[in-house]
Amino acid sequence: MIKLINVCKKFDHRWITKGVTLTIPPEKMTVIIGKSGEGKSVLLKQMIGLIKPTSGSILIDDIDITQLKEKELNAIFEKVGYVFQFAALLDSLTVFENVALPLIENGYPEKAALPIVKERLSLVNLKADILNKYPSELSGGMLKRVGLARTLIHNPKIILYDEPVTGLDPITARVVHELMDETQKRLKITSVVVSHNVESFKYADYVALLKDGTIKYFGDAHTIWEEMNPDIYNFIRGIE
């Protein structure tokens, strides 16, 4: 379970998050929305310790990760997967080498990594024939799926997705959404998704709106279009 308590972050003299308090429901999908530059990526990166908050607490399974040293944070990285906006694959490595990287870094021999990589690729509906391809040979949708396969390598209990469908056509976006949905339900993963895409609500259980550095709304994604809270009402309809 992830719990943010009064999380504040400033860069130079500018406050980005000004007291975010939010409990992410376990084994469900929560979408965080908000205007560009509001601090959604900064918030997500704080949840995995990539950025340290200026003040406040972030609890993962009751451990305050803001208090951990780098070495102790590695144990959190095992539990929490992060899917970067642009897949963040290494161009000079093949699909196999990219997905296997977290295992190889942990001392797995390549031979032992191969069946694990194949299994994770099948989870994201990719076949073994792409194992020896390089990222430059893949489409945007395939790159997203390889990025997800790499994130799944450690069997994370939590996955954080930063803009998983931005830049994809509507059909590929739907495929990626369905994959995220299946992954969350099949593996009982807690998913946190930062997304601009209103289609993301269809697949989510909860929606949180980040505005002016705080969470202005948190509620059920299934009834979001009937919601009368002015902040959420205006945001999802694109009204200032």
Ligand X SMILES: Nc1ncnc2c1ncn2[C@@H]1O[C@H](COP(=O)(O)OP(=O)(O)OP(=O)(O)O)[C@@H](O)[C@H]1O
Residues of this chain that interact with ligand X (CB under 6 A) are 11, 16, 34, 36-42
Give how many residues touch Mg ion by CB under 5 A.
1
184 binds Mg ion per the rule CB under 5 A = no
> Using CB under 5 A, which of the segments 6-14, 34-42, 98-106, 121-129 binds Mg ion?
34-42
- Closest to Mg ion by CB, 41 or 190: 41
Lateral strand order in the sheet of 63-64: 14-24, 2-11, 55-60, 63-64
- Rounded Cα distance between 184 and 218, Å, is 20
> Using CB under 5 A, which of the segments 37-45, 68-76, 185-193, 219-227 binds Mg ion?
37-45
What one-character-per-residue DSSP string does 96-151 give?
HHHHHHHHHHTT--HHHHHHHHHHHHHHTT--GGGTT--GGGS-HHHHHHHHHHHH
> Using CB under 5 A, which of the segments 19-27, 38-46, 171-179, 181-189 binds Mg ion?
38-46
- Closest to ligand X by CB, 98 or 200: 200
> Using CB under 5 A, which of the segments 40-48, 58-66, 146-154, 201-209 binds Mg ion?
40-48
> Using CB under 5 A, which of the segments 24-32, 39-47, 86-94, 183-191 binds Mg ion?
39-47
Work out how close the CB of 40 gets to Mg ion at its nearest, in angstroms, rounded to a whole number. Answer: 5
Q: Of Mg ion, ligand X, none, which one does residue 38 interact with (CB within 5 to 8 Å by kind)?
A: ligand X
User: In which residue are the tokens 């495929």 written?
Assistant: 175
- Closest to ligand X by CB, 37 or 238: 37
Work out how close the CB of 44 gets to Mg ion at its nearest, in angstroms, rounded to a whole number. Answer: 8
* CA end-to-end span of the chain: 33
Count Cα neighbours of 147 within 13 Å in the Cβ-side half-sphere.
27
Q: Strand (E) positions, the chain?
A: 2-11, 14-24, 29-33, 55-60, 63-64, 80-83, 158-162, 190-194, 206-211, 214-220
Work out how close the CB of 68 gets to ligand X at its nearest, in angstroms, rounded to a whole number. Answer: 20
- Rounded Cα distance between 170 and 105, Å, is 36
- Rounded Cα distance between 220 and 222, Å, is 6
Work out how close the CB of 85 gets to Mg ion at its nearest, in angstroms, rounded to a whole number. Answer: 7
- Rounded Cα distance between 56 and 194, Å, is 21
Residue from 17, 41, 98, 200 binding Mg ion (CB under 5 A): 41
- Rounded Cα distance between 171 and 140, Å, is 12
Site string for Mg ion, 58-97 (x = CB under 5 A): ----------------------------------------
**Binding positions for Mg ion, rule: CB under 5 A:** 41
